[in-house]
Structures are given as C-alpha cells and as structure tokens.
Structure 1
Amino acid sequence: MFNKRILASLKFLPVQLLIGLLLCTWIPYLFLDWSYLDQGFNTTSTFNILISGMLTSLTLFTLNLIRQFPGINSSSYILPVFIFWFALVFVPAELTKYSFSLIYYCISGICLLSYLFIIDIINRRYTVQTLAYIPVGRAINMPEQVPSADWLKLDTTNLGQHVNGIVTDLHSYDLTDDWQEFIAHQTLQGIPVYHHRHIRESLTGRVKINHMYENELGSLLPCENYMMVKYCFDFLIILALLPMTLIIFLFTAIAIKLEDNGKVFYTQLRVGHRGKSIKVYKFRSMREKAKEVLTVDNDDRITKVGHFLRRTRIDELPQFINVLKGEMSLIGPRAEFIDFALKLEQQVPFFNYRHIVKPGISGWAQVNQGYATGAEETKLKIEYDFYYIKHISFTLDLLIFFRTIHTTLTGFGSR
C-alpha cells in the first residue's frame, strides 16, 4: 500500500517537477569528467543547469496539460513535445556567449525522456477507470452518449464498489431527495460528482449547445490577448517554414501543370472571422470548371495529382497567404462555403458562434473527425468547433499541430 501511494503521488505535477529537476539537472553531473566538476558551479555550469531545468519544466507542464484533453494517448506526444521545447529553448540559448557541455545535455535529455515515459506509465496505471451514473433526466443513457468510459449504472443509493466519480443530470426533476442525499454523502466521502454535460464534454471533446442557458456566453469568447499572440506565432512559423514551403510550391505547380496544363491555384469565397466573406487560396485539385458541390468519396472531379495533394493536405498550403493577411489562422474551425454556411445556420443552433474566431487551415474537428459531408457528421463537427472555441489555448493549438502532422502522414479524413 505504501508503494502504491508513492506511485500515485507521481500523478501530481509538483512532485513530478521536483523529481524531474533532480534527475535531469543535477544527476547528469555525476557522469561528467571529474576535471569538469573541479571547475565548480561557475557561470557556465549554472547556465547549463538553468537551460536544462527550463526544458524539463516546460515539457512536464505541457504534457500534463495535454493529458487533460479527451482521447489523448499522451505517450505519443512525449517526443514531439520534447523536440518542440528543445528547439525553442536551445536555439536562442546557442546565440549567447556561454559554452555548452554536449555530454551533459545528452545525459540530461536521456534522463528526461526516460522519466517522462515512466511518468506516463504511472499515470495510465492510476487513470480514472469507472464512473457511476444515476439514470435520470438527460443522464439516463450515459453509456450511449460516452461509450469510451467504463460505466456503472446506479439503480439504488447503494454504491457497492469503488468508483472514480458519479455522473447525473443535476437539473432533473427526477432527482429525488434520496438521490440528493446520496450525492451529498458521496461528496463528503471525497468522490467527485459531475453534471452529465460537463463529463460528456470532457470525455468526447465536443460541446453541444441547444439552449443559450446551457453555456456561459463568456466561455465562448476567446481571449483577445491570446489571439494576438496566436497571430504572432502563426507569422513566425510560416516565416520559419518559408524555404521548405517555396520548394513544395514549385514542385506542386509543375505537377499540376504537367497533368492538364490548367491553372495552378484555385480561389473560393468562404465565411471568415465574424461572418465576413474571404477569398481562400488553394492548389487546384479538381478538373477545371468542375461543379462546386460538396466533395464525396471517390469524387471523379479530383485529378490524380489532386488525390495526392488532398491526402497530404498540400492543397491547403496556399492558405498561408490568408494567414499572413490576417484572415485565417494555422489552427481554427474550417472555413465553410457561403451557401453551405447559410443552410447550416437554419439547421444547427448557434452555428454562427464558430465564426467568433478566425478559421484555420487545420483544427480540432479536422484531426478528430476528418472531412464531414452528411448532416449528422456536420453537427458533430460543429460540436468539435464549439469545444475548441471554449477551450482555446496554446496547449490545445500545440496538440492540434502535432495531430495535424499525423493526419498529413496518414491521410486521415481526406477526400
């Protein structure tokens, strides 16, 4: 029991951070040449420890935030997050006057990666396993709403086994006095009680809005300061990728021209930020003068080169122009056709709220669902968009960025 408690304590970030800083900043010095250690903790060695500590802290913080999002296999993001912060921390540090110990950083990096994988194993071992639900109101079919969780149905106020949380419709008139007393008692025992809508949102990554009172309006308004920072990041990323992007542009243009000698680029009016119309740029992936309707599986309008461009998302790269113009972002809800958006306004409650942020080249809906065509798929896509708008943050954008790389390599959701 004592060992299990020690392992369980590693779930908490302060404990993880304390152990991580010890392992990844101080322990590596034990493996260095003794002549290096004889120099003592001078300015250079202090600088090395500081940089290693920053990398350890930022990586741990980011991974802990990523684990909070639904459907995430956090072990898949350990190496990408490590590389991301390694580049952001060490590249600027390389420009300073201080010297580096290559051996120290290699040992520190190995220690950090090993520690992160151990933490991930422990976190999965002590992840929430079972949720009990009281079948009243809109919580009557929780297993159908969220099939990914392990559910225990409560027919009586006798819990009978250990659970990690209780879910119900706290607004239901069917929640009797006995159930309310049961909920109060379980809360005093330290068992968290969740409203069905909150648990559905946290486990599915979707926000459903049928009535205005179901969501606080403020939670759907993104932070203006972050949106400014987000644009700066977009600009810097596009600038850093510019040499590679120009090469891809050149080869793509040649391939399109060789196939049918048609136009390289294709422009289309779509709905942008705050409902304004924007002209979106793309590489042409369909036959010229093809009818503008929604894409379907095995669409015969798509050219041979176009199939490759769509599968790898290369056809979206010209939208970098829209990003630089401030009309779009790298990450955000998909910009819809104007006619399609007008129809959805009549079918989906509060559809226009998705225009409260700039549309993106990739987004939460794209990496979770792919390309949506039917009415039901589109409604799910809107729920993913609402989740993104409600939880928009640097961590969520970073997560979508990593998952976009995966979808690009696998062709997930392309048509």
Structure 2
Amino acid sequence: MTSRWSLRLCAIVLLCISITSSFAQDAPRLKVRVHLEPSGTVVAGSDVKLIVECLTTTFFTDAPDWPLFNVPGAFVVFPDEQAQNLHESIDGVEWFGVSRAYRIVPQAAGTLSIPAFPISVHPGGSTSPVTLTTPALKLAATVPAGAEGMRVFFPTPKLSATQTITPSLHDLKAGGSLTRSIMQVAAGTESMLIPPVEFGEVEGLKRYAKPSATKNVIQDRAGLVAGERADSVTYVIDRSGSFKLPPVTIEWWNIATQKRESIVLPAVSFTALAAKERPLFDIPADALSNGGAHRILVIDRWQAILVASLLILVLALIWVYPRLATRFRRLSQAMLDARKGHANGAGPAWRALRLAARKGSLKSAIPLLYRWMDRSPELKHPARVDELNSPGEPQLDGLFSAVHGHYSGQLEVTTDWRESEKALNRVMKQKRKLSKAKSPLPPLNKY
C-alpha cells in the first residue's frame, strides 16, 4: 500500500516538472533590430530612414509603443508609412514581428549620434508589457562643396523672407512692447524642414519668443507647392532711449544653382520715450501763488441744453462708429468676394470658351473647355470631357473626337462648334435639373 502511494506521488511530481518545463519552453523570446537606409554617408538635408524591427517567437497582442526621440542637429519625425508585419526563420526558429521607419533629416555636416531608446511591446504569453532597448547608432552627414561652415544646411529651390514690426515705431514708450515677425516661404519644401530664425538680444529690451507657426501650401493637382514658417519675438522696453534690433541673416543652399545664398533682413531702429504721468487737472503754480482775479461765469438754460446735446451726439457717434465701420467692412468684403466669385465662375469661363471657339481654332479652345468644366458646379472635379457624354446628343461625338485627337498629337482637328455648343447647353440643363432634384442629404443606408 505504501509503495503504491509512493509511485503515485512520484508520478505527480514528474507531471508538474514536465508542465513547468513546457511553460518555460513556451515563454516568448524577444529581440530588436535597427538599421539605416541608406547605410553610408548621406548629404545633409536628405531623408534617412531608421528601420526598427521588433520580433518575438509567439505573437504581439497589441502594437508596440513607438516613442519619438531627439537627435541633435537633425529633424526626427514619423513618416506617413504604416508599420509592416514580419515573419522570418532564424536558426530554425520561427520569428514574428513588426517594423516601423523613422524619418531623420540631418541639418549640418558631421557625425550624428542616434541614441538608444526603449520600446514597450506586448508579446503573447506574457502577462505584462516588455521593454526592448534599441542600440545606439552613428549617422555621418556631409555637405556639397561651398556649403562648409553653414550653421544649418537648408537646401531648397527658392526661399523668400519678409519681416513685419508691430505696432508703429512712432509712439513707443518705456514699459511698452513691440513684436518682430519673420515669415519664410520655401518652394517645394515641407514647412517642418525650414530652420528657425535666431533673434538677437538687445540691451534694455527683454525678449520673449513666441511659438512658431508652420503651414504646407498644397494644391489639388500640383501637390506640395511650398512650406511657410513664421517666427515671432516680443521685446518689452525697460527704459527710454534709442534702440536697434540687429539685422537677421538667413543662409540657404540653392539646389538649382548649387550655390550658397543668404537673405539679410535689415536692422530696425527706434526711440522710446519716458513714461510720464500728468494729473487730470493741471493748475499752474504761479496762479496759486499770485491769486488771480475771481470770475463768475453765467450759463443760461439754452446754452446748457445745446452743450449737452452736442456732448450726447458726440458720445453717440463714438459708440456707433465701430459698429458702422465693422458693418461697412463686412459689406465691402462681401461685395468683393461676390465679384471675385462671379469672375471665377462658370459664366465668364463659358463666354471665353464660346468666343475662342467661334473666332479662333479649336486647338486654343480646348484648354478653355477644361477650365469651364472645372468651374461648373454640376460637373465632377477634376474635369473629364467624357462626363459630358449623353446618349441623346450625338452632336458631341465630334467634339469628343476632336479633344482626344488634340491630345493624341493629331495636327488638325475640326468639329462643328455651333452644333456642339447647342448640345452642351442641353446637357448642362439636364445636369442642373438632376442636381436640383437630388437630395442634399446622403441616404441613411445605401445597402
């Protein structure tokens, strides 16, 4: 009986050891890999990708917590690309993971240090997040010949800069303030890549920097047109006297001419008067000491009424003037917007198309046809000539053939414009009727 219980106890102990070893073998293994693309020396101002790969032998229950780190002398941002899933076999072991790319843009020549940074991952089989640490890397950047010594290497096809000073420099006093703003516009360049402006210190003025404002100018067909960056600083005047804000020099690299260029914004000089308080009623001292003759002023009732009426009228004008001025400005702006909207509408575009088609060649009228379609609210944008096709208007077939022939390189394309004009009018009337009959609200359930 004792030996039987001993055998059972040994079997239970062996079973527990086997279960424990199996759980130990199934514990997830983790690793992190990083590399640069491209891996060699790069030119400052160009994009470099830091590829980070997190791998495990099981699976990830959630996306890793990707941090954003800093690299001195470079911009670091997440690109628009999404994370990618990985599946590899390493030394006979199946690994699963995810990779993400960081975008690094060096701003000057030299060796940049990419620091090690932690990443929290959530592997399957683990009850809590696990932290992986990336290795530190080095990134070597160089600049073209002639760009040595630039504080920040900023390549762009074209750069312009303007400065504004507010308020006016004529009425500044001690204790007041003025703001210096500099706007940079770089053609074909993202706004985040435009370097900030360095404002100098001025004795007697306290400098307070404001947050910069950036904006990308994007057009539908052209894409990124330019980037804009506005840097502002406010100076508080501590004392009276003459002051001079130093000139601002902005260096940049012209990628069209492959030359180093600079923009110099001029210095700003001004004078601040002393802040002096005066009493509301200032009685001359000699009048008090010598004792001037007493005079009695008598004001009758009608004079008092007239003065009071004038005072009320002046106060009423002061009270109503801002409101009248605001309404006048709004009315003027509305009229200007309406005039611009009419000038850029479909009506003027249609008249220009009809005049060109009747007097000139069809070759010069085809671009005006597309401009009219782009400005017509009944048509989709960007415009396509096939959208004008209507089964009941065979007169438009010649116009479509002429347009396709024009863009396919045929030397001469002709069509009967007057018939095409009448057919276009009928088609647009049908589309306007359909647009009015269509409900402005989308269907609640389109399936």
TM-score w.r.t. length of structure 2: 0.19
Structure number, greater radius of gyration: 2
Higher relative contact order (CA 8 A, sep 6+): 1
